Amino acid sequence: MTDDIYDDGTPDESGQTTGKPQKKQDSASASPAADAASGPAPDAAPDAANGVTVIAVQTGAQDDPEQVAPDQAAPGKTAGIEVAVSAPPRAGDDARALDFDGLSGPDADNPGGSESSETPEGPELPVLPDELPVLPVRDVVVFNYMILPLFVGREKSVQAVDAALNGSRYLMICTQRDESVDDPAPEDLHPTGTVVMIMRMLKMPDNRLKVLVQGISRARVESFGVGDGYLTARVETLPEPELGPPTVEQEAMMRAAREQSEKILSLRGIATSDIMAVLNSVDDPGRLADLIAANLRMKVSDAQAILECTDPDARLRLVNEQLVKEVEVASMQAKIQSMAREGMDKAQKDYFLREQMKAIRRELGESGNEDEELEDLTRALERSGLPREVRKEADKQLRRLASMHPDSSEATVVRTYLEWLAELPWAKLSRDRLDINKAKVILDEDHLGLAKVKDRILEYLSVRKLNPKSKGPILCFAGPPGVGKTSLGRSIARAMGRKFQRISLGGMRDEAEIRGHRRTYIGAMPGRIVQSLKQLGTRNPVLMLDEIDKIGSDFRGDPSSALLEVLDPEQNFSFSDHYLNVPFDLSKVMFICTANQLDTIPPPLRDRMEVISIPGYTMQEKLAIARRYLLPRQAKENGLSPREVTVPDALIERIITGYTREAGLRNLEREIGSLCRKVARRKAEGEKGPFRVTPRMLEKLLGAPRFIDEEKEAELLPGVALGLAWTPYGGEVLHVEVTPMKGKGGVTMTGQLGDVMKESAQAAISYARSRAEQLGIEPDFSEKLDLHIHVPAGATPKDGPSAGVTMVTALLSAITGKPVRSDLCMTGEITLRGRVLPVGGIKEKILAGVARGMQHVIIPRQNVKDLEDIPADLLRRIQVHPVAHIDDLLPLAFPKE
């Protein structure tokens, strides 16, 4: 026995694949499916979701004399196709079209029955018993060779199926005249029906049956009888008449039927190629009529009329009439659907979707009261203290929001805009703490040194205290990385009692980051400044615009130009963000900018700011900061107490000189942190503190020193001079080397020099040639010698107007053969007349000279004013020599023996 109704896509005994497994049908009833060919393939199952029955149809050759068993198809003689027919479900049927997963029952392995195991081919019919059990069905008319799964539920019907299975396996299926009758009598049944053979049967747990039947022949009931609890009938089979070759009229009707069928399939959007191949392979008018009728949407009365028609030609005419009606109905249905699709505009679709969303929200318990949301938003706007102009715009948007559907996309944009207006601090101000003495204490606690910067901050606070309405300037802290520019802004906010926010401008290229996006864009939002004010919740915070020198520009706009309005006290009281589109007062905000260098800041933007230079820290300042701030902080971050690790001052100085070379403190803090981590590991391994770092331990813990003062030589070779350069990271000491060679006056410059330094070298050569006699060199040296000017560290680009005096000194040293003092460094630009011009970065350069152990430094005389910014203890460690002309420099560079 087998539990399979029909094949699941695997080859059967003949090697053919008869079909795919169908979905289970749970509806009350379905329209029949037909197989007009000789080889049955029980692959029929209605689709409950859309009322369409999918039927696998196989056809064999018409002239094949062999009979084909129900479970086996002749190889090479079949063609499989799925035909879709309508199947509107109805409740209370005795026989219902169903698919099922397995079968059980008597003789499941012998579906052919006891009297015949073959399916008739052509007019030949099996031998039938004298009486057959009657199975009443409703809403279904079974045609010849039609394979149909039925669900049998009524007791009489179950007994009729059992009787057929116990006997010949043949049933007489008759359709009820009245579908509502639950216990039909003989007069309630149509006398003409179909003899079917039971191919499969499955018993359900509730004694109901699932059976798979195949139509064998039309039959007419001669008389009804009563069996053991079920109806029986003596039947007369109605065989199909034998026909010869089709006549012209028959061929015309068959072609018309095929064309109408193809048109119906096209209107319903069903693929027609395989189905039309099946219809074209049937040449018998009667079979073609039965095949089409089994899959045609008809009333039961019309289908019964076709079943009762025994003349093939007349039956095909009836089918053609039904096809014409169905074509008209399908065409009108397609036209109505097209008109309905065209007539439904976007608003109707949106309304339908919104109503669905409402229903879903109600089911989920998420539905809210839109009126309450509007009231809450109105109250929030009233509490926010909007200015009159802004309140007017907010009321306008509120009225628009009230007239919109709450789920529309535009309503979401307006609601978000109003929420931004309500949450911005239009009237919220922090109370300034203008105690100058306390502010001084806070600044001294957070930062060591930086006296000029602290004085300027205290001046700003003093003016604010005396004149609260004053428009303070925009401060810009300029200096190398790690000197405390950002932390200064945080200390200012703490001293004033204001909130602090840092906005990084590095790499910003989109103007909308400052001004915001317009609300017409998807994902629009205000600029970074308005966002910061919303987060802080106050209109007078301290906003630090970090890295203002690293702003870029591209096709999205120029952020530096947008900052002109933000940083101008005469304009920012009515700053307009593109998203808000209403003025916002930024005059109460204290803006502080930071930059590493001023050259890359656009001049109009730089003009808006007051620049305060923070050049860097001296050795003493670094030592004090490391002792007071860095070492305790790193000890705490690494799980140590300040008392557990002890680093002498001498070792901190060695770390500063041998492991770092910077104007700020970042690398120094990293090295101290590395030192604390090594000590923390020793503590974690079980050693007990306190731990004292000794000179022997320093190299073991931090490795060999990274910077060695190789340039501190007892004597310099002729042609070498030490210059001073400024970089964004502090000052540096540069070697300038000049080598004369026999030649014809050629000049070679290496070391990746910029145009300004090349011009300084040319000016030095021209000055030396013009003053050859006074300088004690041969006047024609430029014709006999080639000069090679080189600045080491060629991988680093070098440029700037402060190398002129160094070039002249190195050139004269190379030509005369006299070495320059090894403890002397210099900076300054020269003219062709020998004048020494002022340069910038004096403090950074002197700091670099002191760090390298220089004893003397030459600076332009006009830079003497810059010495005021240099601590006195630093000036005591190096002697400064101001010069105004090269003649003043030469005695210092070449001292007499």
What Å distances lie between residue 311 and 121, 243, 317, CA to CA? 18, 11, 10
Query: 55: number of CA atoms within 13 Å, CB side?
Result: 34
Instruction: Look up residue 820 and give its two tokens.
Output: 């320059």
802 counts as catalytic = yes
Close Cβ partners of 306 (under 8 Å, ≥ 6 residues apart) = 141, 289, 293, 298, 315, 318, 319, 322
List of E strands, 666-796 = 691-692, 720-727, 730-742, 747-750, 785-790
Q: Which of 545, 667, 671, 555 is nearest to 608 (CA)?
A: 545
349 counts as catalytic = no
Residues 380 and 425: their CA atoms lie apart, in Å, by 12
CB atoms within 10 A of CB 714: 6
Q: Which of 173, 189, 95 is nearest to 132 (CA)?
A: 173
SS (H, E, C) 629-651: HHHHHHHHHCCCCCCCEECCHHH
Handedness of CA 105, 110, 114, 120 (dihedral sign): positive
Residues 606 and 592: their CA atoms lie apart, in Å, by 13
In angstroms, the first-to-last Cα distance of the chain is 125
Helix residue spans in 685-739 (DSSP H): 695-702
Residues 673 and 670: their CA atoms lie apart, in Å, by 5
CB atoms within 10 A of CB 33: 28
Instruction: Look up residue 847 and give its two tokens.
Output: 């700091």
Whether residue 325 contacts residue 264, with contact meaning beta carbons closer than 8 Å, is answered with no
Which of these is catalytic: 29, 802, 813, 822? 802
3-state secondary structure of 726: strand
Close Cβ partners of 86 (under 8 Å, ≥ 6 residues apart) = 31, 51, 52, 53, 297
How many residues does this entry show for the chain?
897
What Å distances lie between residue 466 and 11, 461, 568, 866, CA to CA? 100, 9, 22, 31
DSSP 808-844: HHHHHHHHH-PPPPTTEEE--EE-TT-BEEP-S-HHH
Q: Which of 285, 289, 293 is nearest to 245 (CA)?
A: 285
Q: Angle at CA 536, nearest 5°, toward 533 and 542?
A: 75
With tokens 């700020």, the residue in question is 664
SS (H, E, C) 559-589: HHHHHHHHCCCCCHHHEECCCCCCEECCCCC
CB atoms within 10 A of CB 762: 15
Q: Which residues are catalytic?
A: 802, 845
